[in-house]
């Protein structure tokens, strides 16, 4: 198992950077080698990756999530890896995003001599592309999940509304604890937007 740590400063407020990262199904748009991420429920995902011509599928569990602070996960089976992404406010318009990955290189890179070096460059590139992705949108995240996941020794418990990619607005009630000011948009769309946000729905 090897540990890789990389950081990038993103020119958006911490809430926008964090909100975008909670939309796991958008990961293939900026993560190299990630073919698909499917959100199964608030704490479980199914990944499809392709590295060195080899396709792998595995499930992962969100083990801790604190709004505007961090997201942590671990694989359930398949390639052995876990990670934690933290979000630190630099100023009102800048956020430092730090990814700390614990990865088994043998499980992710096939037939490459410098496996750790390849993964290190990949994580660095993913953060750079995330920066470009959110900044090019002017900080307008594609969605948000403002609930929390509290880590325990046995399992993680999700608290808050189910608003991740693929199931926007499920279970939302205005004023519900953990909603953090999110209210339904057009009832037909099932979307969400902050109550004070004048921007049109995406």
pTM here is 0.72
pLDDT per position as a tens digit, 60-105: 999 999 999 999 999 998 777 889 999 999 999 999 999 998 887 6
How do the domains of the chain map onto residue ranges? 2-136
Instruction: Give the C-alpha separation, 115 to 18, whole Å.
Output: 29
Instruction: Give the C-alpha separation, 45 to 167, whole Å.
Output: 13
Nearest residue to 147 (alpha-carbon basis) of 46, 59, 47, 41: 41
Mean pLDDT, rounded, for 109-131:
80
pLDDT per position as a tens digit, 175-192: 333 333 333 333 343 443
pLDDT number for residue 107: 65
Cβ proximity of 103 and 1 under 8 Å: yes
Instruction: Give the C-alpha separation, 34 to 85, whole Å.
Output: 17
Cβ proximity of 60 and 80 under 8 Å: no
Question: Residue 52: which residues within 8 A CB-CB, separation 6 or more?
Answer: 109, 110, 111, 112
Q: How confident is the model at residue 143 (pLDDT cuts 50, 70, 90)?
A: confident
pLDDT per position as a tens digit, 89-100: 999 999 999 999
Q: What is the CATH number of domain 2-136?
A: 3.30.530.20
* Mean pLDDT taken over the chain: 76
pLDDT number for residue 41: 92
CA distances, 151 to each of 21, 65, 146, 148 (Å): 19, 8, 16, 10
Which residue in the block uniquely carries the two structure tokens 């020794």? Answer: 153
Task: Compute the residue count for the chain.
Answer: 202
């Amino acid at each position: 198992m090897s540990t890789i740590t990389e950081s990038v400063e993103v020119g958006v407020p911490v809430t926008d950077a964090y909100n975008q990262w909670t939309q796991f199904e958008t990961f293939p748009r900026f993560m190299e080698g990630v073919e698909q991420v499917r959100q199964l429920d608030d704490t479980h995902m199914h990944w499809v990756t392709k590295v060195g011509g080899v396709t792998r599928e595995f499930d992962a569990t969100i083990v801790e999530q604190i709004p505007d602070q961090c997201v942590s996960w671990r694989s359930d089976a398949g390639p052995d890896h876990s990670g934690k992404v933290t979000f630190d406010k630099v100023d009102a318009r800048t956020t430092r995003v730090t990814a700390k990955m614990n990865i088994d290189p043998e499980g992710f890179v096939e037939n490459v001599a410098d496996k750790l070096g390849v993964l290190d460059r990949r994580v660095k590139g993913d953060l750079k592309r995330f920066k470009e992705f959110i900044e090019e949108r002017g900080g307008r995240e594609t969605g948000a999940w403002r609930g929390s996941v509290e880590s325990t020794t046995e399992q993680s418990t999700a608290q808050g509304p189910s608003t991740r990619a693929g199931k926007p607005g499920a279970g939302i009630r205005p004023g519900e604890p953990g909603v953090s000011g999110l209210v339904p948009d057009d009832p037909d769309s099932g979307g969400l937007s902050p109550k004070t946000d004048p921007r049109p729905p995406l």
